[in-house]
């Protein structure tokens, strides 16, 4: 597995750039290291979300907005956290370094689960089940809390009882986006004046378009493999949370002792 390290000096440079310039900076750093694998044309063709010319426009700040789906696909291709493209990341103390593991090099590694996935696909074909041929789907809604260090805790998961058509899914997405926007502005009215609120209808339409036409960025997950991975992640998350609890309890104990000595 190949990885590339961004040093703190490079992160400091990124802090002073816009989103488009950050995308260009990281891509060109990777291009310098790995050659034309990370030319604008190669990246755009891999992520299949935007054209090479659109990527150029984004990097040169000639577009009004850069939608989340595009940033998600680019972050995955570059092997970085999405947070590297946000201002919030640079408002905190910058780490000494950050490792990038581009998706291209991960996908080149042999996948032990591939035969199982292939066999499952064959079984699905025999039963006539292919998600790409379905016109409506059960919808799962999940909510996660995100900590300052980008750790996540899932607090809600709910499935619809009926299948939603694309139009019904569009209605759901735009409603959710609009409600989050409304709460954001209620909490911080400045956001409305700074034009940082995305158009719910436009953003929902953008997501649904990419979900249908950019399958490399929005792939389908084979159910059994997904459950296996989620179970493994859950086990690791439980251990990590226990570690956090121990640190919290120790800090509370220290604070309590300090208060009692005053």
223 is written with which tokens? 């159910």
Below-70 pLDDT ranges, the chain: 1, 107-128, 194-196, 262
Angle between helical axes of 40-47 and 68-78 (0-180°, round to 10): 110
Global pTM value: 0.56
pLDDT score, position 112: 44
pLDDT score, position 194: 62
What's the longest Cα–Cα distance across the chain?
74
Domain boundaries, the chain: 4-105, 139-256
Architecture of the domain made up of 4-105? Orthogonal Bundle (1.10)
SS (H, E, C) the chain: CCCEEEEHHHHHHHHCCCHHHHHHHHHHHHHHHHHHHHCHHHHHHHHCCCCHHHHHHHHCCCCCCCCHHHHHHHHHHHCCCHHHHCHHHHHCCCCCEEEECCHHHHHCCCCCCHHHHHHHHHHHHHCCCCHHHCCEEEEEEEEEEECCCCCEEEEEEEEEEEEEEHHHHHHHHHHHHHHHHHHHHHHCCHHHHCCCCCCHHHHHHHHHHHHHHCCCCCCCCCHHHHHHHHHHHHHHHHHHHHHHHHHHHHHHHHHHHHHHCC
């Amino acid at each position: 597995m190949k990885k590339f390290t961004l040093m703190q000096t490079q992160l400091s440079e990124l802090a002073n750039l816009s989103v488009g310039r950050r995308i260009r900076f990281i891509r060109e750093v990777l291009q310098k290291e790995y050659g034309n694998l990370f030319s604008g044309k190669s990246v755009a063709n891999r992520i299949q979300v935007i054209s090479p010319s659109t990527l150029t426009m984004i990097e040169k700040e000639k577009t009004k907005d850069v939608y989340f789906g595009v940033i998600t696909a680019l972050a995955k291709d570059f092997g970085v956290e999405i947070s590297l493209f946000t201002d919030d990341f640079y408002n905190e103390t910058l780490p000494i370094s950050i490792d990038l593991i581009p998706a291209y090099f991960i996908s080149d590694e042999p996948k032990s689960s591939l035969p199982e996935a292939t066999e499952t696909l064959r079984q699905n074909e025999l039963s006539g089940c292919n998600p790409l041929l379905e016109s409506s789907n059960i919808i799962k809604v999940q909510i996660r809390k995100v900590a300052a260090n980008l750790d996540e805790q899932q607090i809600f998961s709910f499935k619809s009882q009926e299948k939603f058509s694309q139009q019904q899914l569009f209605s759901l997405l735009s409603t959710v986006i609009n409600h989050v926007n409304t709460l954001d502005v209620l909490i911080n009215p400045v956001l409305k004046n700074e034009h940082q609120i995305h158009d719910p209808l436009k953003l929902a339409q953008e997501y649904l378009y990419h979900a249908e036409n950019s399958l490399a960025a929005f792939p389908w997950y084979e159910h059994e493999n997904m459950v296996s991975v989620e179970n493994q992640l859950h086990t690791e998350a439980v251990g990590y949370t226990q570690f956090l609890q121990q640190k919290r309890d120790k800090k509370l104990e220290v604070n309590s002792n300090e208060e009692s000595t005053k």
